[in-house]
Chains A and B, each alone.
Chain A
Amino acid sequence: MKSLLKFITCGSVDDGKTTLIGHMLFEAKLIFADQAKSLELDSKAGSREGRIDYSFLLDGLIAEREQGITIDVAYRYFTTEKRSFIVADTPGHEEYTRNMAVGASFADLAVLLVDASKGVITQTKRHARICALMGIKHIVLAVNKMDLVDYDQERYEHIKQDFEELVSNLDLESVRVIPVSATEGDNIIKKSQNTLWYKEKALLPYLESIEVKQKVKRDKFLMPVQRVSRPNHTFRGFQGQVEAGTIHVGDEIFVLPSHEKAKVKSILVSGKEENSAVYGQPVTIQLDHEVDVSRGDVLTISKELKVADMLTATVLWMDDKELVEGQNYLIKVGTKTLPCMVVTIKNQININNGLKTPVDKGIKNEMIECEIALSESIVFDRFENNEAMGGLILIDRVSNMTSACGIIEQSVNRSNNVIWQETDVTREIRATQKGQIPLTLWFTGLSGSGKSTLANEVEKRLVARGFHTMLLDGDNLRHGLNKDLGFKETDRTENVRRMAEVSKLINEAGLISMVSLISPFKKDRDDAREILGDSYIEIYVNTPLKECEKRDPKGLYKKARSGEISKFTGISSVYEPPEKPHIQIDTSKYTLEEATDLVMKQVLEYLS
């Protein structure tokens, strides 16, 4: 069986990528007769000077043929006597960089073209860097259009030197520089008579012979779970592809991130029962006992994999929309897709020299180093150790666009209080689910005015009508959340602030909140209104002080009068009445039922 080489052609626009591949296929007699005939016909109609335009073989989209450019990757399949090839011909325009990256993610080798008359330019450097980012270890620089510089060796050497300097800080295993002419056919299939000074192989023979086997950095079994299969009660199999190492029936494995252990009971390799499976095979694995495994988990024997909920990554930003800190995306790593947030944008990597510059946003086609916080811990490896566990994509949650692709560098400890904020289900969604408008009914008034009694009755009525509610009583919260607070003015202010914040959370949960709190100062109530926004409905229970003191349900007025309690509202501390409460009620004028009726009538208006 012949080996397979997957490669791409890349480089700047008009450097002749498409023509190079077209010529290679044509000369090597690797296209069908009908395609060759159609090529000749197309060329007569469309090309410069009626010569065969080899690019017509690959530019398959109408827009591409009209504009004479490559927009998206084209895949071609061909076989020579020595090797099978899949070539992805990628676009050179900066605008279509992401399509070039698609091709690069797929390939083992890149044929990067430069125009001999122009030399190494920014786009050449960008493509070289993207190739390295996406994991390509072998680059051939094809110095094209040698015919335009009279096959000048000096020109070639000059470009070669520039290029070798460029790639010296990239992690590559082989670099080869070949002088070619895609239109004339020099050094494509066989050595050209025009470049006798060039002693190495021509392009195709070089591609036929180069060894691209990657060094195995991870040799212990690992398999990300794609799917759990349970067709019946007796079978529970975990489907996935082996991404490293070998596994045998009877081996002990563990599940990440849970670390639960189990033994392999059976292995199906593409549907057939086998004793073992190796890297690259699609398998279904049964374990000897029930363990909790779901999609996105990893079965492994490797202790080198990492589990973390925050990581640094280098990404190629591909979206027209800018990347800014605090933005939410879906991230996919291995077979795990989950919400994430780009919390810190650290550096932009300079396309020309690889140097890092601190930035606070990412723009299309830039390479950006950033920190990503995940909604839960995931299993991963550094990309350079294992492609399958170290590559990532970010998906925009509104447009569903693949906004970025990148590689994981390392995990980060969550030191700077970054807390994941789940934003998928919003306040509106929760409220809609409950069919209500989440308001805060803020009962303010003197001690003994009947706030709590009234709030309690209103809540009962609301629940009876099918509303979802929560009651926060100022006195009761002083036993727990607010037990560190006294009755000083500053403590009272803090007390009100906390009640407002808690009530806001309750509203965010979609619930109607009732707060019963003296809240005597106008400024504090204004702060609460600020925190709660439009949800804040002020209910002033304006029962006269005389009546309140008469009721004195907790005996507090008595203590205040005797001086046992200081700073008691109405006696030794002021109550500032609300100027424009939403609802007002004097409980001394009505029975409890009447008062409740009156308040309910108005509350229901706000709730509809």
Chain B
Amino acid sequence: MSKLTHLDQLEAEAIYIIREVAAECENPVMLYSIGKDSSVMLHLAIKAFYPEKPPFPFMHVNTTWKFKEMIEFRDQVAKKHGITMIEQINEEGIKQGINPFDYGASYTDIMKTQALKQGLDKYGFTAAFGGARRDEEKSRAKERIFSFRNKNHAWDPKNQRPEMWKLYNTSINKGESIRVFPLSNWTEKDIWQYIKRENIEIVPLYFAKERPVVEREGNIIMVDDDRMKLASGEKVEMKKIRFRTLGCYPLTGGVESEADTLDEIIEETLSAISSERTSRVIDHEAKGSMERRKREGYF
């Protein structure tokens, strides 16, 4: 048994996974969503290879509806670390005017899943790292660390490859790919404690601040730009809020909070009575909706 702390063990496991992919997979890419989990994953990639730069590019799937602060943060981070950051946008979706207000579930499919698949196909990536964790959602809890995808990027949850010890099987045929989740065994709490320990920079949206918001169907939605149309009866108010997860601003609910330091955030996380996914509007749609999206190629 190791004398390492729990966080040390999680860090070692993630670095091991990231290095295995770099060594065995032909053309890997690291998906970067700008959120806290991605920030931790990027940090681990830098550590895994230092003084060498990570030997793979990073890719951000941009729906064009992300918070402004996220995009600024992304560009700063890429510059600071000197890494290649590919921005992938579904241009066809933009031309068709697909937006989160009018298109519901198909918006996520077209601007996220399809855009992701386009990006992976365009560059012929054979392995893609994602920052997903098993404690986020029930179908994620069932997924392997090295998760195999067929030619159509589809996941077959009933027929996953066995995954033993640290002996990851990276063999694939042409056109197939693997999604790799180095943070599988981290919990939300682990992420925050690691961010604090390692002093990892994160998007300021995670910290509580006065922000312009409206209340919509029980969620607190931030008015990030003037594309947000207000329904009758809705009015913009200033509220001290923060975000537990980040995504497209019209689909991401904030929480009222006073936590503007990491310690306060950790405190809040430990005593939270709701799981973080409650702030993601899309997850409420139907039971098994995450699994369905994953089968279709979503991360």
Residues of B near A332 (CB, < 8 A) are: 167, 169
Check B48 against A60 for contact (C-beta < 8 Å). Answer: no
Instruction: Kindly list chain A residues whose C-beta atoms are within 8 Å of the C-beta of B20.
Output: 226, 335
Q: How far is the CA of A13 from the CA of B140 in the complex (A)?
A: 23
Within 8 A of B (CB), among A295-335: 295, 318, 330, 332-333, 335
- Kindly state whether residue A181 has any CB partner on chain B within 8 Å: no
In Å, the complex CA distance between A278 and B20 comes to 20
Binds A, one of B9-17, B31-39, B115-123, B220-228: B9-17
Tell me how far the C-beta of B22 lies from the nearest C-beta in chain A, rounded to whole angstroms. Answer: 6
Does A80 sit within 8 A of B, measured CB to CB? no
Residues in A whose Cβ lies below 8 Å from that of B46: 271
Q: Is A73 an interface residue (CB 8 A)?
A: yes
What's the least CB distance linking A19 to chain B, in Å? 16
Instruction: Report how far A240 CA is from B167 CA in the complex, Å.
Output: 14
Question: Nearest Cβ distance between residue A413 and chain B, in whole angstroms?
Answer: 26
B158, A271: Cβ atoms under 8 Å? no
Interface code B133-172, partner A: CB below 8 Å = 1, 0 otherwise?
0110111111010000000000001101111111101011
Contact with B along A592-606 (1 / 0, CB 8 A): 000000000000000
**Chain B residues with CB below 8 A from A2, complex form:** 6
Which residue of chain A has the shortest Cβ distance to B3 in the bound complex?
A278
> Contacts of A237 on B, CB cut-off 8 Å?
52
Q: How far is the CA of A230 from the CA of B53 in the complex (A)?
A: 10
> Which of A32, A60, A239, A318 is B162 in contact with, Cβ under 8 Å?
A318
Q: How large is the interface on B (under 10, 10 to 19, 20 to 34, 35 or more residues)?
A: 35 or more
Q: Determine whether the beta carbon of A33 is less than 8 Å from that of B142.
A: no
List of A residues within 8 angstroms of B185 by Cβ: 75, 77, 86
Contact call A337/B24, Cβ cutoff below 8 A: yes
> Which residues does chain A contribute within 8 Å of B172, judged by CB atoms?
400
Contact B169 A402 (CB under 8 A): yes
Asked if residues A282 and B15 are in contact (CB atoms below 8 Å), the reply is yes
Task: With A271-B48, A280-B8, A393-B169 as known contacts, state yes or no: A402 contacts B163, CB within 8 Å.
Answer: yes
A101 at the interface (CB under 8 A from B): yes
Q: B residues within 8 A CB of A79?
A: 189
Determine, out of B230-238, B249-257, B271-279, the stretch whose residues face the partner at the interface: B271-279
Q: Indicate if the CB atoms of A77 and B23 lie closer than 8 Å.
A: no
Interface residues of B in 250-289 (CB under 8 A from A): 272-275, 278, 287-288
CA of A240 to CA of B2, assembled, Å: 16
A2 and B171 CA atoms in complex are apart in Å by 37
Output the least CB separation between B279 and chain A (Å). Answer: 10
Partner of B134, one of A61, A77, A99, A226: A77
Contacts of B50 in A (CB 8 A): 268, 271, 284
- Given A34-B274, A392-B167, A101 and B49 touching (CB < 8 A)? no
**Residues in chain B near residue A63, CB distance under 8 A:** 157-158
Known interface pairs A32-B274, A65-B287, A76-B141. Does A105 touch B164 (Cβ–Cβ under 8 Å)?
yes
> Which chain A residues numbered 208 to 237 have a C-beta less than 8 Å away from chain B?
212-214, 226-227, 229-231, 235, 237
Docked complex Cα distance between A240 and B19 (Å) = 8
Cβ-defined contact, A75 with B134, below 8 A? yes
Residues B141 and A60 in contact, CB atoms below 8 Å apart:
yes
Is A159 interfacial (CB 8 A cutoff)? no
- Determine if A4 is an interface residue (Cβ-Cβ < 8 Å): yes
Cβ 8 A contact of A42, one of B137, B287, B291? B287
Query: Which of B162, B274, B275 lies in contact with A98, CB distance below 8 A?
Result: B162
Known: A58-B138, A77-B187, A391-B167. A281 touches B4 (CB 8 A): yes
Q: Does B51 contact A (CB under 8 A)?
A: yes
Whether the Cβ atoms of A282 and B163 lie closer than 8 Å is no
Given known pairs A32-B275, A231-B51, A282-B48, the reply for A241 and B142 (CB within 8 Å) is no
Min C-beta distance of A460 to chain B, whole Å: 40
Q: Which of B22, B52, B275 contacts A35 (CB 8 A)?
A: B275
Contact assessment for B19 and A226 in the assembled complex, using a CB-CB cutoff below 8 Å: yes
Binary per-residue interface labels of chain A (32-49) against chain B in the complex, 1 for a CB within 8 Å, 0 otherwise: 111100000010000000
Which chain B residues lie closer than 8 Å to A195 at the CB level? none
User: How far does the Cβ of A202 sit from chain B's closest Cβ, in whole Å?
Assistant: 25
CA–CA, A4 and B139, complex, Å: 24
How far in angstroms is the closest Cβ of chain B from A237? 8
Q: Which of A98, A241, A271 contacts B16 (CB 8 A)?
A: A241
Measured CB to CB, the closest approach of chain A to B273, in angstroms, equals 4
Using Cβ atoms and an 8 Å threshold, which residues of chain A touch B52? Answer: 229-231, 235, 237
B16's closest neighbor in chain A, by CB?
A: A241
Residue A410 CB within 8 A of the other chain: no
Expressed in whole angstroms, the Cα–Cα distance for A33 and B273 within the complex equals 5
When the two chains form the complex, which single residue of B47, B141, B157 contacts A58, counting CB atoms closer than 8 Å?
B141
Q: Would you give the shortest CB distance from A274 to chain B, in whole angstroms?
A: 13
User: Given the complex, which residues of A lie within 8 Å of B164, measured CB to CB?
Assistant: 101-102, 105, 134, 391, 393, 402, 405
Q: Does A71 reach chain B (CB closer than 8 Å)?
A: yes
Chain A hits for B169, CB < 8 A: 332, 393, 395, 400, 402
- Cα distance, A388 to B140, chains bound together (Å): 27
User: Is the CB of B96 closer than 8 A to any CB of chain A?
Assistant: no
| Chain A residue contacts of B163, Cβ below 8 A | 102, 105, 402
Q: Which of A60, A105, A212, A395 contacts B142 (CB 8 A)?
A: A60
* Residue from B9, B48, B171, B272 within 8 A of A239 (CB atoms): B48
CB closest chain-B residue, reference A282: B15
Top 10 nearest A-B pairs by Cβ distance? A60-B138, A280-B2, A271-B47, A231-B52, A271-B50, A400-B171, A282-B15, A32-B275, A405-B164, A33-B273
Extra contacts, 17 of them, besides A60-B291, A62-B292 (Cβ < 8 A), are: A1-B6, A59-B138, A63-B158, A75-B141, A77-B135, A99-B160, A102-B162, A105-B164, A226-B23, A229-B49, A270-B12, A281-B8, A282-B15, A337-B24, A391-B164, A393-B169, A402-B164
Residues of A within 8 A of B (CB): 1-4, 32-35, 42, 58-63, 65, 71-77, 79, 84, 86, 98-99, 101-102, 105-106, 134, 212-214, 226-227, 229-231, 235, 237, 239-241, 268, 270-271, 278-282, 284, 295, 318, 330, 332-333, 335, 337, 387-388, 391-393, 395, 400-402, 405
Which residues of B line the A interface, CB within 8 A? 1-6, 8-9, 11-12, 15-16, 19-20, 22-24, 46-53, 134-135, 137-142, 144, 157-158, 160-167, 169, 171-173, 184-185, 187, 189, 272-275, 278, 287-288, 291-292
A-B contacts, 26 of them at CB < 8 A, read A1-B6, A4-B9, A60-B138, A60-B141, A61-B158, A63-B158, A71-B158, A72-B157, A73-B142, A74-B138, A75-B135, A75-B142, A77-B185, A102-B162, A105-B163, A134-B164, A239-B48, A241-B12, A241-B16, A270-B11, A278-B3, A280-B12, A282-B47, A337-B24, A393-B169, A405-B162
